[in-house]
């Protein structure tokens, strides 16, 4: 073999050994996402929260599957503060009736739509906006990073609930979309910070440097190389924040600033039931429990996803 060829072969890097799998078997290593899904399927916390969330989302999307009662129909003479009939599962009188003679069970079923819709849409909007701002600030740096970071700091300095209250009070009619836009207007800052920090780390990777050297466009580098590798912490933060937006919507409606009658929402029912705490506590407790269960389910899901996507926690 010629000396030049020998030197070439000698300079070739050795083949990297196969990385061990997390389940103890040796084989082709899984990607971060397949490895995370492998862990999630075996995590009881994820299974319980996912089943519960699937049930709540189905109830919100198809309330007719759970009740045929009209949540706005009131029979004050017949059902005024009628107590729950715990033996009649999934029936109109299962949770009793409120002060206007409306079925609490029907209102719980239909109220899930407003609360979950607000949470999902707000989470989607803040994730898109926060990720875009964070990626641009982290990737370009310089004056772009300075401007975007200072704008983020300004919004971050505004207390979330107080800012939402100020924005909502400026509207005479507060529909569900007004509530969504008000929460999204102030809720993107945390995701922007997380995305910026993740991009600052990823953009120093060798494969990003190689893509730049090969002449890849900025959009291709951001979408094909940086975003898939920087999105994991954003997903974790967004999943946990989703439960917080349900609490925010219920709190604003309870204070009379968010959704209002004739909208059907858990927060609206909690607000109208606070005066009956001594006489008929179930009017207040039942929608409050539904809010707590839903928020807990999303927090559990976020914790499970964080544990699966963060290699340091394994």
Predicted TM-score (pTM) of the model is 0.82
Interval 238-251 mean pLDDT:
89
Q: Which of 5-9, 114-118, 204-208, 215-219 has the highest mean pLDDT?
A: 114-118
Residue 192: pLDDT band with limits 50, 70, 90: very high
pLDDT at position 293: 93
∠295-303-223 over CA atoms, to 5°? 105
pLDDT at position 38: 79
Contact 236, 40 (CB under 8 A): no
Backbone angles phi, psi at 220, to 5 degrees: -65, -40
Nearest 10 degrees: Cα torsion 288, 294, 296, 297: 160
Question: For 19-23, 60-64, 152-156, which range has the lowest pLDDT when averaged over its residues?
Answer: 19-23
Q: How confident is the model over 41-70, as pLDDT tens digits? A: 888 888 999 999 999 999 999 999 998 888
Q: Where are the alpha helices (DSSP H) in the chain?
A: 3-11, 32-40, 44-61, 76-79, 104-140, 142-157, 160-169, 176-186, 189-202, 206-213, 218-220, 227-254, 266-273, 282-309
Cis (ω within 30 of 0) for the bond into 262? yes
Q: How confident is the model over 85-96, as pLDDT tens digits? A: 888 888 888 888
Domains and CATH numbers, the chain: 51-71+93-199+231-313 (1.10.3720.10)
Contact 183, 249 (CB under 8 A): yes
Using CA atoms, how far apart are residues 163 and 288, in angstroms rounded to an integer? 24
Residue 312: pLDDT band with limits 50, 70, 90: low
pLDDT at position 296: 92
Using CA atoms, how far apart are residues 160 and 155, in angstroms rounded to an integer? 9
* Residue 152 predicted with pLDDT over 90: yes
Q: How confident is the model over 158-182, as pLDDT tens digits? A: 889 889 998 888 888 788 899 999 9
Quote the mean pLDDT of the chain: 84
Token code pair at residue 197 = 């920090």
Q: How confident is the model over 259-306, as pLDDT tens digits? A: 888 888 898 889 888 888 788 888 899 999 999 999 999 989 988 888
3-class DSSP state for residue 166? Answer: helix
Give which of 21, 22, 39 is closest to 308, Cα–Cα: 39
pLDDT at position 219: 86
Q: How confident is the model over 27-41, as pLDDT tens digits? A: 556 666 777 787 788
Contacts of 127 (CB under 8 A, 6+ apart): 191, 234, 238
b/e per residue, 277-297, with b = 16+ CB within 10 A? eeebebbbebbbebbeebbeb
Other Cβ atoms less than 10 A from the Cβ of 220: the count is: 12
* Residue 17 predicted with pLDDT over 60: no
Contact 272, 98 (CB under 8 A): yes
* Residue 147 predicted with pLDDT over 70: yes
Using CA atoms, how far apart are residues 163 and 183, in angstroms rounded to an integer? 9
Using CA atoms, how far apart are residues 280 and 303, in angstroms rounded to an integer? 36
């Amino acid at each position: 073999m010629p000396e030049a060829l020998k030197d070439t072969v000698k300079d070739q890097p050795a083949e990297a050994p196969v990385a061990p799998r997390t389940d103890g078997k040796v084989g082709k290593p899984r990607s971060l996402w397949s490895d995370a899904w492998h862990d999630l399927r075996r995590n009881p916390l994820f299974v319980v929260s996912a089943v519960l969330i699937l049930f709540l989302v189905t109830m919100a999307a198809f309330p007719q599957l759970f009740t045929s009662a009209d949540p706005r129909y009131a029979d004050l003479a017949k059902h005024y503060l009628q107590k729950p009939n715990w033996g009649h599962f999934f029936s109109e009188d299962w949770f009793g009736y409120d002060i206007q003679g409306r079925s609490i069970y029907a209102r719980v079923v239909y109220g899930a739509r407003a609360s979950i819709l607000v949470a999902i849409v707000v989470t989607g909007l803040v994730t898109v906006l926060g990720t875009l701002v964070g990626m641009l600030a982290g990737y370009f740096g310089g004056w772009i990073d300075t401007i975007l970071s200072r704008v983020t700091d300004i919004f971050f300095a505004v207390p979330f609930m107080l800012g939402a209250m100020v924005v909502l009070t400026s509207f005479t009619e507060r529909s569900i979309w007004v509530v969504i836009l008000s929460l999204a207007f102030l809720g993107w800052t945390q995701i922007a910070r997380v995305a910026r920090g993740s991009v600052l780390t990823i953009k120093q990777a060798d494969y990003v440097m190689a893509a730049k050297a090969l002449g890849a466009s900025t959009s291709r580098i951001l979408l094909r190389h940086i975003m898939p590798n920087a999105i994991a912490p954003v997903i974790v933060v967004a999943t946990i924040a989703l439960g917080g937006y349900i609490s925010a919507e219920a709190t604003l409606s309870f204070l009379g600033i968010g959704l209002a009658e004739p909208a059907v929402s858990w927060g609206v029912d909690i607000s109208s039931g606070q005066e009956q705490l001594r006489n008929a506590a179930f009017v207040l407790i039942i929608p409050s429990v539904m809010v707590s269960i839903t928020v807990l389910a999303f927090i559990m899901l976020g914790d499970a996803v964080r544990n699966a996507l963060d290699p340091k926690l394994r």
